[in-house]
């Protein structure tokens, strides 16, 4: 859980916090329309997909490339 939130913090820094929340909410709403399910929409947000995918990797933040969450937009 802590690693998951650390990944989000790195994402927030990259997006200058305000843009992170704007993108997060916008992507959630788009995915909610697509999936018609709150949990599915949440789990498919690119920021969440990156964080869930790497939350068990304690070294991820040391090797992570900037804006890596973009890779998780598709899907």
pLDDT at 75: 63
Find the helix packing angle between 18-35 and 46-54, rounded to 10°: 100
Rounded to whole angstroms, what are the CA distances from 3 to 9, 33, 70?
A: 10, 29, 19
What are the pLDDT tens digits along the chain (75 aa)?
899 999 999 999 999 999 999 999 999 999 999 999 999 999 999 999 999 999 999 999 999 999 999 999 986
- Residue 50 in contact with residue 74, Cβ under 8 Å? no
Predicted TM-score of the model (pTM): 0.93
């Amino acid at each position: 859980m802590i690693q998951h939130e650390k990944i989000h913090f790195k994402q927030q820094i990259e997006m200058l916090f305000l843009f992170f929340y704007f993108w997060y909410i916008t992507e959630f709403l788009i995915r909610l329309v697509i999936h018609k399910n709150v949990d599915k929409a949440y789990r498919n947000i690119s920021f969440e997909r990156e964080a869930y995918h790497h939350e068990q990797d304690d070294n991820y933040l040391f090797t992570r490339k900037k804006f890596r969450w973009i890779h998780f937009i598709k899907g």
